[in-house]
Structure 1
Amino acid sequence: MRFLSILLILLATLSFSFADDNESIHVPLMDLDEDYFSNEYGFRGANWRGKDASDLDADMYPGAGEQERDGSVDYNCNGISGWSKTKGKSNENWLCERAQSRGVVIFGDSAAAAFHIPESFIPKSRNIEDFAKLLNYDHLRKIAQQRRSQRHDRDDDFDVLVHEFDWPHKSWATGFSEDINGESIYMKMRDRNRCNHRDFQNLAVNGAKAKSLIEQVGNFSRDKSDKPSLAFVAYIGNDICKKKLEDMTTVDQYRKQIIDGLTKLDAKIAPGSKVVITGLVDGRILWDTMHDRMHPLGMTYAEVYDLLWDIKGNPCRTWLTSDASMRDKASARAAELSEVALDIAKTAKFNNFEVAYIDLPMKDAIEDWKNQGKDVAELIEVVDGFHPSHTAHRLLSKLIWEKLSTEYPGFLGPLNPNNQMIKKNFGEQGGH
């Protein structure tokens, strides 16, 4: 068995290398029944999508539709099985049939995937050109492979290779790691209705932008016979982060790309689903928060951003710059695209889902953090000075949930009155 595991990892590593040149390969690599779910955690597996209870049965996966079954098999992988003699039906049917279960899915970018570079990956040379390579997604994959080849035994550290420097199990949308203390939309949906256990999919990809939506919908494992979904469309910055302002996504391009993606989603998602489009972030927050702070390289973030600009290694030249005029113009375009997203939510009609818009509450998160007397810089990733930190993800989860609970409570579904019975009989339902 150990030999087989090693062989699978080697094959996966080779395929992962190939995937660098093919954006569409963002589905679980270790997926024997090809249902897009896996019981392995890495390579787009169970940290990205709920754990598959069986990788040998394509009809058995998280979010599978409720049917009249005898309960002998947990087809939707939520840990509820068996037959109730008193009810005359399977436990799944009587505990969940009126619960309006729905899974959580996010289509998005590296921020949606909780991208994070550990400080241990900062080059020992402290050379700015070496550091610039660290901010290149393809280069990150290469150095991660080198690190992996140096490991002789499995350790407890997060395996950066098989997760592409993403931490989806800590994302504001789909996180389930113990150390997030339940602060994710998925965990809150699970607490609201235990029948939602394991029903999540994080389809975010590093570098993705609005035009990526149609591709990510193609990798979404769902059809109309499955349970409905609560889906988030969250491309918060890459349409703005270009080499120059003229390259930013236009209003017309953005509208078409989002509409095309949602139209494709409508063709496969279950009726009764809900879709939330978030606005783009105002990236001036990054400069305003970080520019005079000291970076681990031993210089201010402003100096790092400008040096990266000089060698064309800056991950967001339109916002991470000392040029205030450029930052303002970038934010103006971001606001325009957010207005388009709002208009789509108000006017576009789809057969199988309702659409809502919310602002990404990063400014609110900052105010919340300030009011607690804490350092705002803790909400921005230390190494790249660009992405929301994992601390920020927990705050975003709280604020987004509050927004939905107040303005769109129907998107969340009702509280399942059978939750305590599920806990009593099935405990942690197999965990994650």
Structure 2
Amino acid sequence: MTTPKEIFKNTMKVLKYLDTILPNGSFVVITGLVDGRILYKSMHDRIHPIGRSRNDVTYKDFFDYFDCLQFSFLFFLSLSPILQRANQLSDVLAEIVKNHNNFKNFRLHFIGQLFVQVMEYWRKKGGADWQIIEPADGFHDNQLGQQLTAKIIWDDIEKNFPEILGPVNPNNKKIKQIFGDQNGY
């Protein structure tokens, strides 16, 4: 299991490398770790694609099978120390952004609990959590989830770190007059 010291060391190593290749004035966004319990809670009683033909294999069954093989995605769900470690690792990432944001070519920004924010946004729109999770594994966001993640990141940056985006193009009005509204294209 990754220790706080290891995630600090490895993240700093990557950031120092990025400082050598990113152009001056760049920005890097770091997010906290996802709490796997929210994914499990959203998917455990749904039918996994493997069981779709007979409607007989749930995600819980799928994960239990791997658990029997001693290859489990979900070992952390019942182990409080693992969940505490995930929170510690997220705290280390936030601490790096807060206290080690002194790189030559870029600045750091931290977004904690990103996937929780995505799920909350989707629920407010009337969606269900499972609709934004990849059905094949039940543990990653699908294309819609990625689209919503991009929106949440964009909104967070606009609100908390607008200098990343730079000034609004003063020619936007002229561009719209010439080309019309192309719905973002």
TMscore range, shorter length: 0.7 to 0.9
Give 1:368's match in structure 2, choosing from 116, 121, 125: 121
Give 2:104's match in structure 1, choosing from 351, 356, 361: 351
- Cα distance, 1:422–1:270 mapped onto 2, change above 3 Å: farther
Question: One-letter code of the match for 1:318?
Answer: F
1:333 deviates by 1.4
1:403 deviates by 1.0
1:260 deviates by 0.8
- Return the alpha-carbon distance in structure 2 between the equivalents of residues 332 and 369 of structure 1: 27
Q: Does 1:311 align with 2:69?
A: yes
Deviations 1:365-415 (A, max 9, x none): 222222333222112111211111211112111111111111111111111
Give unmatched runs, 5+ long, in structure 2. none
Give 2:86's match in structure 1, choosing from 312, 319, 334: 334
1:421 deviates by 5.5
1:334 deviates by 1.5
Secondary structure in structure 1 of the residue aligned to 2:137: coil
- Return the alpha-carbon distance in structure 1 between the equivalents of residues 21 and 81 of structure 2: 38
Secondary structure in structure 2 of the residue aligned to 1:257: helix
Q: Does 1:249 align with 2:2?
A: yes
CA contact (8 A) 1:284 1:331 kept: no
Secondary structure in structure 2 of the residue aligned to 1:267: helix
Deviations 1:128-183 (A, max 9, x none): xxxxxxxxxxxxxxxxxxxxxxxxxxxxxxxxxxxxxxxxxxxxxxxxxxxxxxxx
- Cα distance, 1:309–1:263 mapped onto 2, change above 3 Å: same
CA contact (8 A) 1:251 1:336 kept: yes
- Return the alpha-carbon distance in structure 2 between the equivalents of residues 345 and 282 of structure 1: 20
Q: Does 1:415 align with 2:173?
A: no
Q: Does 1:293 align with 2:50?
A: no
Deviations 1:248-276 (A, max 9, x none): 21100000001111111112221111111
- Return the alpha-carbon distance in structure 2 between the equivalents of residues 334 and 392 of structure 1: 22
Q: TM-score, normalised by structure 2?
A: 0.84
Give 1:274's match in structure 2, choosing from 22, 27, 35: 27
Question: One-letter code of the match for 1:302?
Answer: K
Residue number in structure 2 paired with 1:46: none
Deviations 1:197-224 (A, max 9, x none): xxxxxxxxxxxxxxxxxxxxxxxxxxxx
Q: Percent identity?
A: 37
CA contact (8 A) 1:271 1:351 kept: yes
1:352 deviates by 1.3
Greater Rg, structure 1 or structure 2?
Answer: 1
Higher fraction of helix: 2
- Return the alpha-carbon distance in structure 2 between the equivalents of residues 342 and 313 of structure 1: 30
Residue number in structure 2 paired with 1:377: 130
Question: One-letter code of the match for 2:96?
Answer: I
1:133-148 to structure 2, matched below 5 A, reads: none
- Return the alpha-carbon distance in structure 2 between the equivalents of residues 351 and 371 of structure 1: 40
How many residues matched?
A: 174
Q: TM-score, normalised by structure 1?
A: 0.38
